C-alpha cells in the first residue's frame, strides 16, 4: 500500500536509526528522526494501493510506546460479532490488551513539504547485491515449485522471485508490529490528513478481514488471539509476500497442499499466492512488463506530455509507435499502455525524469502496490535475477545498451517476460 514501501527502505537504514536514537535525549527527538527517515525514503508513485503492503522494517526499541485502544472499538466489535456470528465475548477477550501505536501513525504521515521523489535512490535500495544473492538462493531452493507455478499461471519465475525479494528479502524482513494493533491504530486513529476518512475505512475493513481470517483458522481463544496479534508491517501486511488480510482471504493459495495457508513459513504458499494475485489482476502471458522509449529527445518530450501519474492504461501502443515514442514491435497496436514517469533530483537542484512505457503486466504489478517506483523496481530486479542485466548495471547503461538494436531489444524483452528459470 502507498503507506508504504517506505518500510522496505527503512529496513536498510534501520541500523543508523538505532545508532543515533541512542544518542538522542528525548522521546520527541527520537520520533522526529523517524519522521525524517520516512520522509527521505517514501519515494513511491502517485496513488495508494488497495491490496498489499510492503515489508516492514524491524521495530526499533523505542517503538514500544502505546496508547489505550479507542472508545469506538467496542461498537465496531459488536457489529463484527453480528455480521460474522462470532461471540462478542471472544472478540472482546481477543482485543482486551489492544493498543494504539503512536509510531505507526508517524510512519504513515506524508512526506514533508518540498520533498522530491528519487527513483535512483529507490531503485538502489532494491536492486543491490545482498538482495540479488538472497534471490538466487531462494530460486535455487524452490526451483521446481517456482517452475511449476510459472507454467501453471503464466507469470514468469523471475517476477515471482522478484516480488518476494522486494517485499521482504525472502522472509528476512517481515515486520515486528502487531498486525491487530497496527490495523486498529490506522482504522480508528489515522493522522489528520486529507484522506483520513478513506484510509480509516480501508483499515477498518482490513481489520475485519483479519478477524474473519483468524476465526476461520482457529476459533479457540489462544490461537485466535495469537493470529490476530501476529507480527507484520506497520500497515498490517503479513508474511513473505506481505499480503494484507483481505488479500490473504481473496487471493492466497495453499501451495504446499497441507490444508492451510501460511505465508510466513511456507515458501510454496507465498510463491503460489504471488503468482495467483498477478494472474487474477490481469497478467498477460508472454507480454513484456514495460518498453524503453526510443533514444531521442522528442520521445521523452512526447512522453512527458502524455504522463499523468495514474496507473491506468489510457493509451494504445500503436499510437505511441506512430508518435515515434517507442519502436515497432510484435505486440498488437491496440495493446493497452501508459507512460511511466520516474523522477530523480538532478545535480542543479531540478528534476530529471526517466520515462518508460508500461503495459498490462506493469499495471498488474501496480495492483500489488500502486506505485510506479515499486512496479519498475520489481520489473528491473526480475531482469537482474534472470541474467538480462547485471545487478550493478544502472538504468542509464541499460537504456544505452538497448538502443544498439531495436529489434534485438524487443525480442529480448519478450523473451524475458516468458522465461521461467535462471
User: Coil, helix or strand for 376?
Assistant: helix
Closest CA to 356 of 337, 370, 374: 337
Query: What nine digits make up the cell of 266?
Result: 511456507
The one-digit pLDDT tens for each residue of the chain (422 residues) are 444 444 444 444 444 444 444 444 344 444 444 443 444 433 343 333 445 544 433 333 334 456 777 889 999 999 999 999 999 999 999 999 999 999 999 999 999 888 999 999 999 999 999 999 999 999 999 999 999 999 999 999 999 999 999 999 999 999 999 999 999 999 999 999 999 999 999 999 999 999 999 999 999 999 999 999 999 999 999 999 999 999 999 999 999 999 999 999 999 999 999 999 999 999 999 999 999 999 998 999 999 999 999 999 999 999 999 999 999 999 999 999 999 999 999 999 999 999 999 999 999 999 999 999 999 999 999 999 999 988 887 655 565 554 443 343 444 344 444 433 33
Sheet strands side by side (includes 290-292) = 290-292, 351-358, 336-345, 315-316
The pLDDT assigned to 43 comes to: 39
Distance CA 51, CA 1 (A): 7
The pLDDT assigned to 412 comes to: 39
CA-to-CA separations, 38 to 69, 74, 305, in angstroms, rounded: 25, 32, 30
Backbone angles phi, psi at 345, to 5 degrees: -65, 140
Please enumerate in sequence order all residues whose Cβ is within 8 A of that of 183, keeping only pairs 6 or more positions apart, or say none. Answer: 203, 204, 206, 207, 210, 236, 245
The pLDDT assigned to 391 comes to: 87
Distance CA 337, CA 30 (A): 44
Domain boundaries, the chain: 290-418
Amino acid at each position: 500500500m502507498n503507506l508504504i514501501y517506505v518500510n522496505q527502505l527503512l529496513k536498510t537504514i534501520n541500523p543508523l536509526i538505532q545508532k543515533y536514537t541512542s544518542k538522542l535525549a528525548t522521546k520527541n527527538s527520537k520520533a522526529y528522526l523517524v519522521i525524517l527517515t520516512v520522509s527521505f525514503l517514501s519515494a513511491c508513485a502517485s496513488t495508494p494501493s488497495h491490496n498489499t503492503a510492503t515489508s516492514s522494517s524491524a521495530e526499533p526499541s523505542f517503538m514500544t510506546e502505546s496508547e489505550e485502544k479507542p472508545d469506538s472499538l467496542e461498537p465496531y466489535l459488536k457489529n463484527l460479532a453480528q455480521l460474522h456470528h462470532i461471540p462478542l465475548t471472544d472478540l472482546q477477550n481477543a482485543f482486551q490488551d489492544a493498543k494504539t501505536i503512536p509510531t505507526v501513525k508517524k510512519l504513515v504521515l506524508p512526506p514533508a513539504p518540498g520533498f522530491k521523489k528519487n527513483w535512483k535512490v529507490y531503485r538502489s535500495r532494491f536492486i543491490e547485491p545482498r538482495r540479488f544473492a538472497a534471490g538466487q538462493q531462494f530460486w535455487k531452493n524452490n526451483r521446481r515449485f517456482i517452475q511449476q507455478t510459472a507454467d501453471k499461471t503464466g507469470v514468469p519465475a523471475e517476477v515471482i522471485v522478484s516480488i518476494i525479494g522486494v517485499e521482504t528479502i525472502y522472509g528476512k524482513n517481515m515486520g515486528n508490529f502487531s498486525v491487530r494493533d497496527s490495523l486498529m491504530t490506522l482504522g480508528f486513529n489515522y493522522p489528520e490528513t486529507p484522506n483520513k476518512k478513506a484510509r480509516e475505512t480501508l483499515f477498518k475493513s482490513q481489520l475485519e478481514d483479519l478477524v474473519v481470517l483468524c476465526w476461520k483458522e482457529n476459533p479457540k481463544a489462544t490461537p485466535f488471539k495469537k493470529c490476530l496479534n501476529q507480527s507484520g508491517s506497520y500497515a498490517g501486511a503479513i508474511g513473505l509476500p506481505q499480503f494484507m488480510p483481505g488479500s490473504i482471504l481473496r487471493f492466497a493459495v495453499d501451495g504446499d497442499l497441507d490444508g492451510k495457508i501460511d505465508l510466513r513459513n511456507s515458501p510454496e504458499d507465498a510463491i503460489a499466492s504471488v503468482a495467483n494475485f498477478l494472474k487474477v489482476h490481469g497478467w498477460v502471458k508472454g507480454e513484456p512488463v514495460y518498453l524503453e522509449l526510443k533514444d531521442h529527445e522528442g520521445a521523452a518530450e512526447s512522453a512527458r506530455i502524455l504522463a499523468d501519474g495514474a496507473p491506468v492504461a489510457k493509451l494504445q501502443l500503436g499510437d505511441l509507435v506512430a508518435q515515434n515514442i517507442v519502436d515497432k514491435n510484435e505486440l498488437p497496436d491496440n495493446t493497452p499502455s501508459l507512460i511511466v514517469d520516474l523522477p530523480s533530483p538532478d545535480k542543479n537542484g531540478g528534476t530529471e525524469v526517466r520515462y518508460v512505457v508500461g503495459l498490462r503486466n506493469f499495471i498488474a504489478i501496480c495492483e500489488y502496490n500502486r506505485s510506479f517506483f515499486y512496479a519498475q523496481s520489481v520489473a528491473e530486479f526480475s531482469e537482474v535475477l534472470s541474467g538480462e542485466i547485471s545487478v550493478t548495471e544502472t538504468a542509464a547503461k541499460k537504456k544505452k545498451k538497448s538502443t544498439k538494436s531495436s529489434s534485438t531489444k524487443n525480442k529480448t524483452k519478450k523473451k524475458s517476460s516468458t522465461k521461467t528459470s535462471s
